Structures are given as C-alpha cells and as structure tokens.
Amino acid sequence: MKNPVFTGAGVAIITPMYEDGSINFDELGRIVEDQIARGTDAIVICGTTGECSTMTDEEQLAAIKYTVDLVSHRVPVIAGAGSNDTDHGCALAAKSAACGADALLLVTPYYNKTSQAGLVAHFTAMAEAGGIPVILYNVPSRTGLNIAPETAKELSKYPLINGIKEASGNIGQVAKIAALCGDELNIYSGNDDQVVPLLSLGGKGVISVVSNVKPELVHNCCKAWFDGDTAKARELQLEMLPLCDALFCEVNPIPVKYAMNVLGWEAGECRLPLVEPSDAHKEQIEQALQAAGLIKE
C-alpha cells in the first residue's frame, strides 16, 4: 500500500506575471498564502495551469524553490517536472527534488509520442532521477498519448510511482486503473467536473483549476466525501459546474488567469501563444464568478 502524497484538493496554481512577462514572486506568495488559509490541501507549482511549457528551466526551478521555502511543509508541494525528452526530464526531476519538492508531477511525453513500453522506460527513468514520489499525469487531449490501464499497473510496481492525475475524462478507464492497481497507485482527478465520480472509485482527491478562485469549495467537496457525507459532496460537485464550464471555456490557463485578475489578484497575462479570452468568454467568466459569490456587487 502506498500512502498518497496528499488527500483532498490540490490547487494547480497559476504563475502570476508582470507586464514584461517575468514572474511576479510577491504575488505568487500572496496567492499561495491565501490558498493555504482557505483550506487547500496541496500546492501544485509549475503545472499546465502554471504555464511551465513557456518557462525556462531556471524560471521553473526558481518558482518551485520559492514555493517550497514559503510553504515550509505546511502542505505538500508538488512540482511539475515533465518533459518529452527523457534526459531533460531526468535533470529537471533531480533539480526539482533538490529544491525540496515533496513530489513530482510528470506528464506523458508530447509530440514525439512513444509506445506504452516507452512510457514505462520514460517514467521510471525520471522517477529514479528525482528520488521522490511521482504522480503521473495523463492528459491525452494535450499530449495525444494515453496511459493505458495495463501500463499504469506496470508503473505502479515501481516504488516511487505513487499516483496518477487522470485527465482523460474516461471514467471507464479510471475504473479499470482502480481495479488493476488498487492501493499501489493513488488516483487524482485532473478534471474539476469529475471529482466525485473519481472519489467514488477510490480516488484520493483532485488537482484542481477551480481551486485557484474558490479553494474552499473544492476542499469541502472532497472533505464531505471522505467524511461519508456523499449527498453533500454531490451537492458541492454540482455547485462547482458553472465555474468548471467558465474556467475551461478556452484552453487552460487563459480563463483562470483572467478570473484571478477580475478577482483583484495581479495575475497578469498569459505568455504567448496564449492570449486573452474573447469578450463573450470574459462575460461568461465574470457571470460565473458573480454567481459563485466571488464578485461583490
């Protein structure tokens, strides 16, 4: 049995930026502190939502180190350290671990898609290089590559491969992973609109985008489930849906950074090639924030 890196709601945190595109560490610190104060169970830094794909290694490691030092073991810090180049991923995993991260989030290799056997070799090499627990990240809509349940089972045999962030959207696949892996691979939802379905299959929580704007809602949804109040968990999951729709009306993290700016945070703009949401989507995001009680009239 592998103890989960965390249970509950981990926030896939944004990376706030200045007008010149550099990282706004002061604002990152304020956001992290606010998240912890409002019940977030883990901080995931430099994931997709944190725009790691447009960061240099130096920027990425600086953001990881800053967050680890600030959080100071109050909640786990999980560092995005994936790559489609295994050697690069190994170096990034080792350096992220050296920054003090509690675990690594490793995405499937994108563009130069490998075989399922290649996935096993890729992830085990990076896990060994990092030397700390690993959460696999399965997001075929972005990478064009799916971790098959049988491959997840093979990977779960490796001691450091602790969990999987499942963002395939395929509940049947998640069920098969749960059946094959049992307690050897902790499952986290990668989709905010499927938190309770994955918890019902034995999942340990969610790595959440919605948590950026309303961490207590996602935390309380998970807590209700683990407390045995399935009706409350279901109610909160359904309450979350308008925010899910709004924050994914365009490719993540475009909507959530806009939402954070609307809420008064100095999130800044996304780095190119990501641009501001359309006017129609801006209106949708603002309406969802107002309906969620986050914008005071």
Comparing CA positions, the residue from 266, 249, 210, 264 lying closest to residue 28 is 266
Work out the end-to-end distance of the chain between its first and last CA atoms, rounded to an integer number of angstroms.
49
3-class secondary-structure state, position 203: coil
Comparing CA positions, the residue from 263, 293, 184, 192 lying closest to residue 16 is 263
Q: What is the Cα–Cα distance from 29 to 197, expressed in whole angstroms?
A: 32
Q: What is the Cα–Cα distance from 195 to 240, expressed in whole angstroms?
A: 10
Active site residue 165: yes
Q: Is 40 annotated as a binding residue?
A: no
Comparing CA positions, the residue from 26, 18, 33 lying closest to residue 215 is 33
- Catalytically annotated residue among 137, 188, 223, 282: 137
Q: Is 86 annotated as a binding residue?
A: no
- Catalytically annotated residue among 65, 165, 214, 282: 165
Inter-axis angle of helices 254-262 and 230-247, nearest 10: 100
Annotated binding site for pyruvate: 49, 207
Annotated binding site: 49, 207
* Residue positions annotated with a catalytic role: 137, 165
